[in-house]
Amino acid sequence: MRPKFSAPADGRRSSRPGSAAARANITRLPTAGQPRIAILGAGGFIGSHLVPALALRPGARIVAVDVVFDKLPPGLPGVERVQASIRDSGFLDAITARADIVISLTAMCNPALYNTRPLEVIDASYTDLVPLVKLCAERKRRLIHLSTCEVYGRRALRADGRPSRCMDEDRTALCLGPIHRERWTYAAAKQLLERVIWAYGRHHGLEFTVVRPFNVIGPRMDFIPGVDGQGIPRVLATFMHALLTGQDLVLVDGGRQRRSFLYVDEFVNALLHIVDRPELCQGQIINLGNDKNDVSIRTLARKMASAFRAQRPNARAPRLRTQTAAEFYGAGYEDSIVRIPSMAKAARLLDWRPNMTLAQMLPPIVADYLARYESRVAGDPRARAIAPGLP
C-alpha cells in the first residue's frame, strides 16, 4: 500500500482517485479571500479538528486535501475539499500556485508501522514532502509543517551529552537509536525534513514554522481494528478496542514509558496562534505539548479504564497485562522512556498555555469512541477479534 495522508497511514480503509480526477478537483480551488490556506492531510485526526476551527473565521478560504474525508464534518463554510494524494502528478505544483499558506499534516504517524513498513514511513515523512518545501520556497508561500517530538529520540540530552529534564527546541540534542532499530525511521525522516526546511529558510528565503507535537489526543483519533481499519492503532485506540471487547489492556514493556498528553482542542488553538503570528513564528521550531500531564502509560491505562466504567458501569474491570515490545510490535522496536516538552518558547511566542488535565480529557474521548464504535463492535464479530499483536 502506498503511503498517503494521515488517514490511511494509520491503517484505515481508503480509496485513491486517479491523477486526472485529482487535477480536475484542483481547478476548482477558491481564488478569492485572504489568506488562502491549503491543509494537506485534512481528513485525518488533527485535520478534522483544525479545518472546522479555521472555517469559523469570517471570509475563510480553506482547501482541505486528503484521500478520505470520513472524519471531517460536511458542509463547512469556505472549505473546498480536494480528494488527492501529494504523489499525484502535478498536484503540489497546482496547490502551491493557489495557496498563500500551506499547513502540512501528512505522515504515517503510527508506531506499529515504523519497523514494519519503514520505507513507506520514510517516503511519507521525507521523500514525498521535499518537493513541497522547494515549491513553497520558490513561490514565497508560508509553510507550517507538523513534525514530531520523536525527533528528540531516546531521551532529553544537552548539547554536551548530559541529561536534562525537558526537551528544548533550540538546545536539546537529537539522539536516535542504532540503524537496526527501525522504530527510529519515522524520527529520522522527520528530522531530516526539518533540516531541509531550515536550510531553505536560511539560504533561500522560505517562510516557515516547524511544530513538534507532544502526544496530542482527542476524539476521532485513529481507528478500531475490524471496524474501520486493520492492524495496531496508537495507544488510546488500542486501549479502547480492548475495553469495548472486554479484553485485557496490554502494557508494552510494563507501561513504564511516560508521555505528556495534550488535548486536541488546545493543540488546534495553538496552531491558530501560529497562523496569526507570522512574524513572531518565522523560522521557529516550536514544541506544542503539556508538561503538566506527564504520566506513565500504565497510569493512562488505569485512568482510561476508570473513565470507561464511569460511562459503562456494568462493564467488567479490565486486567492489565504486560508484553514485550518485540512481541507486540515486532523486531527492531524500541522506545523513549520520558518525553517532557519545554514550553517556554510556545508561551513566549504564542502567549499560549494548555490547561486541560488528563482527567478532563478522557471522558469526552471515551464518549466519542462509544458513540462511534460501541454498536458496531457489538454487532460485528470481526471487530471483536483480537487485533494483531494483542494477546
Q: Which residues are catalytic?
A: 186
The CA distance from 46 to 104, in Å, is 11
Extract long-range pairs of 245-248: CB within 8 Å, 24+ residues apart. Answer: 245/377, 245/383, 245/384, 246/315, 246/316, 246/318, 247/318, 247/386, 247/390, 248/318, 248/319, 248/320, 248/321, 248/391
Return the bridge partners of 295, or none: 259
Three cell numbers written together for 281: 513564528
Backbone angles phi, psi at 343, to 5 degrees: -105, 5
Three cell numbers written together for 202: 536560511
Residue corresponding to grid cell 544537552: 158
Three cell numbers written together for 140: 514565497
**Residue 252 carries which side chain, given as an amino acid letter?**
V
Q: Pick the closest to residue 373 from 312, 328, 314, 318 (CA basis).
A: 312
Q: For helices 130-139 and 185-204, what crossing angle results, to 10°?
A: 20
The CA distance from 173 to 167, in Å, is 9
For 215, counting Cβ atoms within 10 Å of its Cβ (0-12 exposed, 13-18 middle, 19+ buried), the class is buried
Sort residue 40 into left (φ over 0), alpha (ψ -120 to 50) or beta. Answer: beta
Sort residue 275 into left (φ over 0), alpha (ψ -120 to 50) or beta. Answer: alpha
